[in-house]
Amino acid sequence: MLNQFSSAQFLLGDFLLPWEMLVGAAGFLASWMLLVAAERLGWTRYLWNVPLLFIALAILFGSALGLCLAP
C-alpha cells in the first residue's frame, strides 16, 4: 500500500489523484480550522485583514505539508 504513495499520482477508484491536490486541500482545511479557533478566542479582532491571513496560512500549511509528504 505504501508503494502507491511513491509516485506523483495515486489511484482512487478509477480516478488518478495528484498528491498536490490532497496536500493543498489539507493545508486549506488546517488554516480554516486555525482561523475558526482564533475567531472563537477573539484573536482576529487584532488583525487588519483576516482573509489575507487565511490565504497566507493556506499557502504556509500547504507548503509545509508538501515538503513533509513529497514522494
Residue 64 maps to a domain? yes
The string of DSSP codes covering 42-68 is TGGGG-S-HHHHHHHHHHHHHHHHHHH
Residue 2 maps to a domain? no
pLDDT at 35: 96
pLDDT at 5: 59
Domain count across the chain: 1
Residue 43 maps to a domain? yes
Residue 47 gets which letter from DSSP? -
What's the first-to-final CA gap in the chain, in angstroms?
A: 14
Residue 4 maps to a domain? no
Residue 3 maps to a domain? no
Residue 1 maps to a domain? no
pTM score of the predicted model: 0.80
Q: 10-65, pLDDT tens digit by residue?
A: 777 888 888 888 889 999 999 999 999 999 999 999 989 999 999 999 999 999 99
Structural domain of residue 19, as residue ranges? 11-69
Residue 65 maps to a domain? yes
Residue 44 maps to a domain? yes
pLDDT at 52: 96
Please choose, from the candidates 17, 27, 9, 31, the residue with its C-alpha nearest in 3D space to the C-alpha of residue 67. Answer: 27
